[in-house]
Amino acid sequence: MSGIARKGTRYLTSLVLIIIINFTLPRLMPGDPVKNLIGEDVYVSENVMEELRAKLGLDRPLYEQFTSFLSDLLHLDLGYSYHLHAPVAELLLDRLGWTLLFVGVSAAIGAFMGSLLGALAGWRPEKKTSRFTGLAFVVLSCTPPYFLALLSLYLFSFRLGFFPSKGFYDAPEIGSILHHLFLPVCVMSVFSASRNFLVMRGSVIQEKEQLYALYARAKGLKDISILFRHIIKNASLPIITLLALDFGFLFSGALFIEIIFSLNGMGTLIYGAIIGKDYPLLQGAFLVIALTALIANMLADLLYGLIDPRVRRPA
């Protein structure tokens, strides 16, 4: 019980911290917040600036600003993008679905591929294939994801012409979407697999030295069944933690891959916002990504309790 309470406090503190960061950043940063908001390329008179300041509540005391900020958040109002002339929440919601689909599918494939190969490599670390996959995944995990995307885009789309080079679809059909998403999802899964692989390999190497594995062998089980029926269950626990902690990291990797493949997700939106200095949009994006990462961590904790009985049982 105390464990749950402690976890709860931590998530709550994270949430509060994220909201505070989001609140203070625009007020702390150099320059006039209103000027930052509307952008440098627009000329407005001093009167309009005053009006805007009053409308945004920037002339009120800080605690009042904070309460109104909180109530806006609860009404899902993340501000207004003066560059794209639309509410930020709407813009983000449009793109978030695609990005979540992209990240979710790749993370699932990556987790499966990475842990399977990692388990095999950890089971027989001295074999040639294990060494090769180990080296390959170390190299992959050291490559910036967008460089990998760039190379595969060049090779498979431009040189060989197997895949289209941009967008989610030509026509909104499932076949077209699959065709467009194949290459980005491949790159993304390899990227996520490389992280899972290294953890799974280490975890299996540790687990196979435990006595239950020895007992399973003494029972006369075959190698493969020792690995897949006994060891993999215990060894995959760190993977769940990693998946959750990596979610923010994967999400940011996805942003870069989206930019390279010109997929109309959060990545291209954020890139546009950086170029145009669209601060409300950037902040909204940060809030949304941080919240998704928070939820992913909570889900992983729940899953952990479900899978590992030791967590449920009091010590």
Partner 1 sequence: MSPEAAHIESSCITEACTEEYSEKKREISSLNFKFPGELLFKISGRRKGLKGQLNRGGIFLFVFFLFMALFPSFLAPYAPNERFTPYKEPSWDHFLGTNDIGNDIFSELVYGSRISMTVGFAAALVSTLIGAILGICAGYFRGALDELLMGFTDVVLIIPKIPLIIVLGAYLQPSIWILIPVLGLLSWESTARVTRSKTLQLREAGYVKSARCMGFSSWHIMSTDIFPNLYNVLLPKFMLATASAMISEASLSFLGLSDISMKSWGTMLSFAFFRGGFIRDMWWWYTPPGICITLCIISIALIGFGLETQGKEHVREGADAM
Residues of this chain that bind partner 1 (CB under 8 A): 6, 9-11, 13-14, 17-18, 21, 25-26, 29-30, 36, 125-126, 131, 135, 138-139, 141-147, 150-151, 154, 158, 208-210, 213-214, 217-218, 245, 247-249, 251-252, 255-256, 259-260, 270-271, 273-275, 277, 279, 282-283, 285-286, 289-290, 293-294, 297
Q: Give 73-85 as a DSSP string.
A: HHTT---EETTTT
CB of 10 to partner 1, least distance (A): 5
C-beta of 32 vs 51, nearer to partner 1: 32
Query: No. of H helices and E strands in the chain?
Result: 15, 2
Neighbours of 203 (CB within 10 A): 23
Q: Which residues contact 305 (CB under 8 A, 6 or more apart)?
A: 311, 312
Phi first, then psi, for residue 313 (nearest 5°) are: -70, 140
CB of 149 to partner 1, least distance (A): 10
CB of 294 to partner 1, least distance (A): 6
C-beta of 52 vs 259, nearer to partner 1: 259
Tokens standing for residue 63: 């605690």
C-beta of 80 vs 123, nearer to partner 1: 123
Give the separation between CA 307 and CA 238, rounded to whole angstroms: 12
CB of 297 to partner 1, least distance (A): 5
CA angle, 36 then 80 then 265, to 5°: 100
C-beta of 148 vs 185, nearer to partner 1: 148
CB of 44 to partner 1, least distance (A): 20
Q: Which residues contact 191 (CB under 8 A, 6 or more apart)?
A: 106, 110, 140, 145, 148, 250, 253, 257
C-beta of 176 vs 234, nearer to partner 1: 234
C-beta of 26 vs 57, nearer to partner 1: 26
Neighbours of 59 (CB within 10 A): 11
Helix (H, G, I), strand (E, B) or coil at 167: coil
* Location of structure tokens 């005391």: 61
- Bridging pattern class, strands 86-87 and 80-81: antiparallel
C-beta of 112 vs 154, nearer to partner 1: 154
Phi first, then psi, for residue 86 (nearest 5°) are: -155, 155
Q: Which helix (H) or strand (E) holds 247?
A: helix 237-260
At 87, the amino acid letter reads: P
CB of 285 to partner 1, least distance (A): 7
CB of 272 to partner 1, least distance (A): 11
CB of 69 to partner 1, least distance (A): 16
C-beta of 102 vs 279, nearer to partner 1: 279
